[in-house]
Homo-oligomer: A and B are copies of this chain.
Amino acid sequence: MKKNIPTIKAIALQLNISVSTVSKALNNHPAIGEQTREKVRQLAAAMHYVPNQTAIHFKSGKTHTIGVILPQLTDHFFTKALSGAEHYALQHTYNVISGQSYNHLQREKELVGFMQRSRVDGLIIALTSETESRDHLLPLEAWGIPIVYLMRTPPIKECHYVTVDVFDGAHQAVRMLLNRGHRRIAHLNGPEMLLTSRERQAGYLHALQQHQLPADPDLICHTTLSPESTRACMAQLMALPDTPTAILGFKDLVVLEAMQYVKNNAAGRRGPVDFIGFGNHEFLQFLDTPPTASIEENPFLLGSKAMEVLIQLISGGEAQRYQQVRMPCKLVNYK
């Protein structure tokens, strides 16, 4: 199967006119006669001519394309963030190319390289939980390609980012649990390395503090997000002399695993009865015994906002201050 793709030159040849005339006709250049324009357009349509974007990118030095790198799309949070980013980009005639890092730094580096080679005009990235340095991203910045971090930001202040205000989310959740009478509230948090984990924890601690409750380090544990790790955390919590009565989880999936653990392993024994996680996953509605509440994050809007910030950075001319946006989240009650 040999490729046979029509070019401007082929059109020019057939009509016996010059290449530049064809180019102008197709681009609605004013200095082209009505007749010629029509002739060209008709032939182009008949030949199914489609401009070669690689050539245009190459020539213009602008790809009008945004790269998006996310950990994984099996996580609804990122899927929706991607959709939001795509949506905004499309409305502003930008294209999106995306890739999944599968939470591996090595793969993230490869993807960054791919984005660089593809000469994206800007990058949105949620770092892997392995990523400690952003050395592999510095060349992009040096090139003048703006980067907006989404959710998973690097541990520095000098960057553009868009995140969810998980501090407030955790704070709201713990306040609700406190109001329901709980005094032993565990925090089944995500990987310690993630900034978003640390912010959740800060919100958790702040709520306790406001209630003049001491923080018990035994009540805080970190799951790698694997089911095994989550179960290990739960085993630890349940082994405490004074078991927690409520749990704030990193996200809904973790909470469900925790609830399952309690159901399977704590029959009869005292165990947590109230659970709250992040995400407000749509599957929760199908559960006979849903968690107490869930913290809704609106990832679609998050992605859309990230793209908005990025496109503004790209088109906004001179160096701007670091854009740092925190989107609100909302506690949704299930009981």
Residue of B nearest to A61 (CB): B3
Q: Which of B48, B97, B260, B285 contacts A139 (CB 8 A)?
A: B48
With a CB–CB cut-off of 8 A, which chain B residues contact A98?
98
The interface stretch among A242-250, A272-280, A286-294 is A286-294
Is A83 located at the chain interface by the 8 A CB criterion? yes
Contact B73 A313 (CB under 8 A): no
A267 is an interface residue with CB less than 8 A from chain B: no
Inter-chain contact A3/B144, CB cutoff 8 Å? yes
Report the contact-size class of chain A (Cβ under 8 Å from the partner): 35 or more
Closest residue of chain B to A80, judged by CB? B74
What are 26 pairs between A and B in contact, CB < 8 Å?
A: A1-B317, A1-B319, A3-B61, A4-B142, A5-B119, A5-B143, A5-B144, A48-B142, A51-B117, A52-B117, A52-B119, A53-B118, A53-B119, A54-B54, A72-B83, A73-B79, A74-B76, A74-B80, A74-B83, A83-B100, A86-B100, A95-B114, A97-B97, A256-B283, A287-B287, A288-B289
**Which A residues contact B (CB, under 8 angstroms)?**
1-5, 48, 50-55, 57-58, 61, 63, 72-74, 76, 79-80, 82-83, 86, 95-100, 113-114, 116-119, 139, 142-146, 256, 259-260, 283, 285-289, 313, 317-319
The 6 tightest CB contacts between A and B, nearest first, are A53-B117, A48-B139, A54-B57, A288-B288, A3-B144, A58-B58
